[in-house]
Amino acid sequence: MNAARLWTIARLELLQRVRTVSWYVLLGVFALLLVGVTALAFLAYGGWGIGGAGVYSVVVYVTLLLILLVSPTLSGNSINGDRDAATLAPVQVTLATTGEILLGKFVAAWITGLAFALVAAPFLIIATLAGDVHPWTVLISLVVLVVETGIIAAIGVALSGILARPLFSVAVTYLVVAALAVGTVIGFGLIGSAVASEGLSKSRYAEYDAMGNIACKDGSSDCYGDADNMICQDWQTSTYRVPRFDYVWWMLSANPFVILADATPTHFDQYGSPDDMFGWLKYSVRSAQLTPELETVWDECDPDNYRYSDLPNPDYRTPEDTIAATVPSWFVGLAVQTALAALLLWWAWARTRTPARTLPPGTRIA
């Protein structure tokens, strides 16, 4: 591995990118999009007084979304596209090794993706200046954004080395990204619902007369809330399906948006609610880890069920409590994604190695 050659390969890619007009058009469109998103996010969070953190998280999410949408196109044809254009073989005959070519193209694709984050930088700074964005939130969320960009770039470059047709490898890169970003959510929802448990609902109601007044044992009609005097009906039971998301919550851990949310430290307001979108998503995902109640009881003859109480409900949990009581999973998701990208890169290396023994069907080496 030679750093000068690796960087030369990356420079070759980047030089060609920065000399195309469409590239600047794309960045310009993205900047315009961010102007709109930032303005709307300020309006949306404006009423809360601590809008900065919310706006910041929205801008980071939109940037991640755009990188996920654009990166496959920018990286998914880097190797087979070069082979089609007959510019791969002239590089392969130089002293640049297959590993250097692959990693050089990966670095270039990564930097290309990060250009979008760079365009988002002014908006992130504006959101930060609006106040109340914690330095750790900024640091960790940006690190995760950079790493995610790299993983998508690596997957795109690798698939372009594995598959022969540029159009096909771009499409497959999109499918992999979609599997991570959307597929995990669909799988989570469908499997969680499919493996539903049977929940038991028990209820008992008090007796009412024809006029709708409470019926009492002593014949009066003002015994509501007096357990000893109310006439109770028989217990009724019914069953219903309870989705078991606590079995499949881990599926979401490979989702880039979830990784970003789960890894970023969350700050809470006085009611224990998160102050940004990262926190809310983290709360939703972490809630899925909790085992659902499989038995619910409603007894009208037990006034404790509905009598107003000054004591806080011992069962109620704030988002802060939920997050504290559940386990983080972002490092697992990140490890899975990194392993996937590394495996694909290795496969691409084996397919692109020269002197070639087998060629992908229907391709020429030059």
Partner 1 sequence: MSSPGIAAAGVRRSFGNVHAVRDVTLDARAGAVTGLVGPNGSGKTTLLLMLASLLAPDAGQLRIGGIDPVADPAAVRAIVGWMPDALGAWPSLTARETLVMTGRLYGLDRDQAGQGAHRLLDEVGLRELADTPARVFSRGQKQRLGLARALVHDPRVLLLDEPASGLDPQARVELRTLLRRLAAEGRTILISSHILSELEEVVDDAVFLVEGATVGADRVAAAATRGRSWRIRLADRDARAAVVPVAQALGLDAALIPIDRRDLLVSFGSDADAATALAALVAAGLPVAEFAAATGILEHTFLDLGGRS
Interface positions with partner 1 (CB under 8 A): 2, 4-5, 8-9, 11-12, 15-16, 19-20, 85-97, 354-357, 359, 361, 365-366
Closest CA to 167 of 89, 73, 102, 83: 73
- Give CA–CA dist 49/202, Å, rounded: 44
Query: Residue written as tokens 């999009």?
Result: 33
Smallest gap, in angstroms, from Cβ of residue 114 to partner 1?
21
Query: Residue written as tokens 């009609």?
Result: 221
Smallest gap, in angstroms, from Cβ of residue 78 to partner 1?
13
Closest CA to 72 of 172, 184, 180: 172
| CB nearer to partner 1: pick between 11 and 202 | 11
Angle between the N-to-C axes of helices 277-287 and 256-263, in degrees from 0 to 180, rounded to the nearest 10: 100
- CA angle at 130 for the pair 318 and 113, rounded to the nearest 5°: 90
Residue 351: HSE in the Cβ half-sphere, 13 Å Cα cutoff? 22
| CB nearer to partner 1: pick between 342 and 359 | 359
| CB nearer to partner 1: pick between 19 and 307 | 19
- For residues 105 and 9, the answer to whether their CB atoms sit within 8 Å is yes
Distances (CA, A) of 169 to 129, 165, 294: 42, 6, 46
Smallest gap, in angstroms, from Cβ of residue 98 to partner 1?
10
Smallest gap, in angstroms, from Cβ of residue 346 to partner 1?
19
| CB nearer to partner 1: pick between 105 and 134 | 105
DSSP code for 180: I
Size of the chain, expressed as the number of residues it contains: 366
| CB nearer to partner 1: pick between 27 and 179 | 27
| CB nearer to partner 1: pick between 96 and 227 | 96
Smallest gap, in angstroms, from Cβ of residue 354 to partner 1?
5
| CB nearer to partner 1: pick between 47 and 361 | 361
Smallest gap, in angstroms, from Cβ of residue 87 to partner 1?
4
Smallest gap, in angstroms, from Cβ of residue 161 to partner 1?
15
Question: CB neighbours of 104 closer than 8 A, spacing ≥ 6?
Answer: 5, 6, 7, 8, 9, 10, 12, 13, 96
- For residues 6 and 103, the answer to whether their CB atoms sit within 8 Å is yes
Smallest gap, in angstroms, from Cβ of residue 357 to partner 1?
5
Amino acid at site 116: F
Question: CB neighbours of 90 closer than 8 A, spacing ≥ 6?
Answer: 366
- Give CA–CA dist 362/57, Å, rounded: 46
| CB nearer to partner 1: pick between 50 and 96 | 96
| CB nearer to partner 1: pick between 32 and 365 | 365
Residue 258, phi then psi, degrees to nearest 5: -70, -40
- For residues 259 and 144, the answer to whether their CB atoms sit within 8 Å is yes
Smallest gap, in angstroms, from Cβ of residue 349 to partner 1?
15
